[in-house]
Amino acid sequence: MADDGDSGSSSGEIAVRMRRSPASLGPNRANLISKGLIYAPEHGVVACTVPGMAAFILRQPQ
């Protein structure tokens, strides 16, 4: 998601990147939403709740 920036990421594209089916990510998506880390601004899209989070994640050393 960080590579997509703050505008949001397609749930389907996230699944492709992780080499998993979109349905298999449903529980993880729901868990992240319940923790307040991401939200769904529209159908099939998720975004970070904190502005600038994508840039912060990309700055972290691996």
Structural domains in the chain, sorted by start = 2-59 (1.10.10)
Task: Identify the pLDDT of residue 62.
Answer: 84
pTM for this prediction: 0.85
The answer to whether residues 9 and 45 touch, using CB atoms and an 8 Å cutoff, is yes
Banded pLDDT at 55 (limits 50, 70, 90): very high
Using one digit for the tens of pLDDT, what is the confidence trace for 19-40? 999 999 999 999 999 999 999 9
